[in-house]
Amino acid sequence: MLWVLNYISEFFLSLFARGRTGSLRSATLSDGLRIILATTFFAFAQRTVNSAFKVFTDGLSVTAEIHAPDEIYYWIEAYLLKHSSVSNISLDLDKQSSPDLGQKEDNEGERGDDDYWYIFKYIWETIWPTGKTIPRTLTISSKRTKTHLDAQKKRVLKRRLGDMTEKEVDEGRKIRINIRPSLDVVQRVQFGNRIIQVKTQNTDSRSRLMDEEKRTLIISSFLGTPTTLMSFIRTAKDEYYVNSSSYVSIYSAHMRSYACEWIKGPTRNIRPWESVILPTGVKESLLKDCQDFLDEHDFYLKRGVPHRRGYLLYGEPGSGKSSFISALAAKLKLDIHIVSLGTRGMDDDKLNSLLQDCPDKCLLLMEDIDCAFKSRSVSRPAEETSNLPIPENMEHEQPKSNGTTIVKRKKMSSSHTAPDHSSTGITLSGLLNAIDGVGSSEGRLLFCTTNWKEHIDEALSRPGRCDVWVEFRYATQQQARELFVYFYSARHLSDGIQKSPKDLVEVKINGHVDQTESEELQTMGKRFASAIPDYTVSVSALQGYLMRYKRDPVTAVEEVQDWVLGGCSQSPSIAIGNGAVQNQSISVNRLANGDGSINGDAILQEEA
Ligand SMILES: Nc1ncnc2c1ncn2[C@@H]1O[C@H](COP(=O)(O)OP(=O)(O)OP(=O)(O)O)[C@@H](O)[C@H]1O
């Protein structure tokens, strides 16, 4: 090798010397030239070896690309989260330990710089001493959690209403740190007796942003075959669904300029079946109908009937239609695919292709199906409406001679008006074709919801498209009683706060649920329900009322009579307008809506 370098340098020096005076031969120049040549030679040699090695490994590897937002992308991400030492880790800065770490820090209670030390300590410990498979280039980003936003709203109010407790201040600081390998960093995971390499790339090569939708996973296996990758993907899928058994995946339509595709949204905790309270037997018979349908594929096939079933849930707002569908999807272990007919840019073609892309065995949900086509004005039989209070946002007109009463929605702000047909570009015939489409998925449960069944064209609601109609009315006394008992049930109140649905499910799975609630609670539930006449108030309004007395069932019973006599007020307990708090005596808890969220209107008014 030295001989080669000497020869080359001599050659260049002689050229150089001839070009000048012919006698310049400095030793320094000669050494310098040798160094340059040596460096060039080594760089060239290294590249050649690398390229040869790459050609060799590429030739013996099988590689696949998976583009987000394809579902497989999320299966593999979840798999990496579990099996790769550092990949897509989420840490709560406010928590002192992470389940991934399995160890508790000794700086409990302290915050600030320690949090950052905690993360770097974690990364350091993970890299050392097994650094070979761990990426050393990480992307660390912070994200304020949702709780933080809620707490922020709370803070705005609390500033007006009084001092914040320390706990609430803490909530406001919740920040989540995401640690994931940087783009182009290769991660390796052991899969059976093979190593699978996974690299994240940006589909858009110009962008360095970790934009979810633009990411591509490159998975490869040395000396593997396509079957290796397929079984890796299958394992990732199986693990994903085992781990997500307490969640429901929700897909929604994502508009692109040329087409429309399903995008997986964030998973949601499943809604416990028992938490949806309907008149006796309704839930069970609907569940049975769905289960029978899903089991009857051959029956449909032999008779040449498309294996699809449609359900129309109609009736009063806040009566549990959406809640029931989400609990049902969890019970049947089906993903929910939501089509919003009011989406801007949606047209017949896009809707059709969307429904064609719908997977077999899924729950397809079209909410407020009346909105896409007609304005909200409706005729109802007089006897049907006579015993109902007129909701605040409605007005009755004079009964007509044919015995019907017009119930009209009062004019709402623009954000509440139903999108009109012209803006969505969907026609009734387009919708019908999409639902009946030849290539549509099999084993699909279509759920349509509306508050205004009368607005729905008969062609849409006829059997074959909507085979089962279920009316959701205001609460019966039985529902009011069951809601009360469920709400204050001991299993939710151990700490005075309702536990998450996930906790409830776990408790139930472990068989620790005490099904027989205390007699006292049952008696209180009866007293509560007896004050509420059948079909006068929605379950969501009842839930909102109970939220005012989250930890105080006794007062909830005592006050309910007055609440009913006062017209079952559903207005916010605190209204802040013109910079003044209207009712200071009520605690902030009372601001919570039925679903526990904070009333946005009140906050907006205050902020303004
Ligand atoms: N039957 C019910 N059982 C339990 N909770 C209910 C029931 N009905 C309503 N709720 C509660 O009221 C809130 C609104 O319910 P949901 O969205 O299911 O009503 P909806 O009938 O779909 O209303 P809308 O027609 O306005 O969409 C939820 O927080 C839910 O917990």
Return the H-helix or E-strand segment holding 115: helix 113-127
Is there a contact between 435 and 355 (Cβ–Cβ < 8 Å)? Answer: yes
pLDDT at 592 over 50: no
Query: Is residue 343 lining ligand 1, measured as CB closer than 6 Å?
Result: no
What pLDDT, on the 0 to 100 scale, is given for residue 61? 85
pLDDT at position 359 is 82
Given a cut of 80, is residue 87 above it in pLDDT? no
What's the confidence (pLDDT) of residue 15? 60
CA 599–ligand 1 middle distance (angstroms): 16
The pLDDT > 70 percentage for the chain reads: 57
Distance between CA 361 and CA 252 in Å, rounded?
16
Residue to mutate, 274, 277, 283, 322, ligand 1, most ligand atoms under 8 Å from C-beta? 322
Interval 130-173: pLDDT, tens? 444 455 566 676 665 555 445 555 555 455 444 444 454 455 55
What separation in Å is there between the alpha carbon of 328 and the centre of ligand 1?
A: 14
Instruction: Compute the average pLDDT of residues 271-282.
Output: 91
Which of 250-259, 550-559, 576-585 is least confident?
576-585
Compute the average pLDDT of residues 353-369.
Answer: 87
State the pairing for strand pair 363-366/336-339: parallel
224 compared with 490, residue with greater pLDDT: 224
CA–CA distance, 582 with 603 (Å, rounded to integer): 13
**How much is the pLDDT for 516?**
44
Q: Which helix (H) or strand (E) holds 74?
A: helix 71-83
pLDDT of residue 26: 66
Ligand 1 centroid from CA 322, angstroms: 6
Span of 389-393, 475-479, 532-536 with lowest mean pLDDT: 389-393
* Cα 538 to averaged position of ligand 1 atoms, centre (Å): 8
The answer to whether residue 415 scores a pLDDT higher than 50 is no
Place of tokens 């299993």: 491
Expressed in percent and rounded to 5, the helix, strand and coil fractions of the chain are 45, 20, 35
Residue from 269, 274, 319 whose mutation best tests the ligand 1 pocket (most atoms within 8 A of CB): 319
Give the nearest ligand 1 atom to 472 CA. Answer: 21
Ligand 1 site, residue 306, Cβ cutoff 6 A = no
pTM score, whole prediction: 0.60
Determine if ligand 1 sits within 6 Å of the CB of residue 498: no
Q: Where are the alpha helices (DSSP H) in 244-356?
A: 282-295, 297-302, 321-332, 348-356
pLDDT of residue 492: 56
Among 478-487, 568-577, 595-604, which is the least confidently predicted range? 595-604
The single-letter DSSP state of residue 274 is G
State the residue for tokens 């050494």: 31
Cβ contact 434:355 at 8 Å: yes
Phi, psi of 468 (to 5 degrees): -125, 125
Cβ atoms of 269 and 501 within 8 Å: the answer is: yes
> What is the rounded average pLDDT of the residues 96-120?
49
Rounded mean pLDDT of the chain?
A: 70
Please state the separation of Cα 391 from the chain's center in Å: 31
Predicted confidence band at 60 (pLDDT cuts at 50, 70, 90)? Answer: confident
Is 543 touching ligand 1 by the criterion CB < 6 Å? yes
CB 317 less than 6 A from any atom of ligand 1: yes
> Ligand 1 centre and the CA of 232: distance in Å?
41
Q: How far apart are CA 532 and CA 565, in angstroms?
A: 10
Would you mind telling me the total number of residues written for the chain in this entry?
608
- C-beta of 84 in contact with ligand 1 (< 6 A): no
3-state helix/strand/coil string of 549-571 = CCCCHHHHHHHHHHHHHCCCCCC
Q: How confident is the model at residue 515 (pLDDT cuts 50, 70, 90)?
A: very low
User: Is 594 a pocket residue for ligand 1 (Cβ < 6 Å)?
Assistant: yes
**Please, what's the largest Cα pairwise distance for the chain?**
123
Q: What stretch of H or E contains 153? A: helix 146-161
Asked if omega into 399 is within 30° of 0 (cis), the reply is no
Q: Which atom of ligand 1 is nearest to the CA of 367?
A: 27
User: Could you write out the DSSP letters of every residue in 87-102?
Assistant: SSEEEETT-S--TTT-
- For residue 453, the 8-state DSSP code is G
319 Cβ inside 6 Å of ligand 1: yes
Distance CA 469, CA 460 (A): 12
Tell me: pLDDT of 406 over 70: no
The best mutation among 314, 532, 538, 543 to test binding of ligand 1, ranked by most ligand atoms within 8 Å of the C-beta, falls on: 543
Residue nearest to atom 17 of ligand 1 (CA): 322
- pLDDT exceeds 90 at position 531: yes
- Closest atom, ligand 1, to C-alpha of 277: 3
- Residue 409: what pLDDT? 35
Band of the pLDDT at 497, cuts 50, 70, 90? very low
- 3-state SS of 382-406 is HHHHHCCCCCCCEEECCCCCCCEEE
All domains in the chain, ordered by first residue: 2-58 (no CATH), 63-234 (no CATH), 268-376+418-472 (3.40.50.300), 377-417 (no CATH), 499-570 (no CATH)
Show the tokens assigned to 409.
Answer: 């929605």
Instruction: Quote the ipTM score.
Output: 0.98
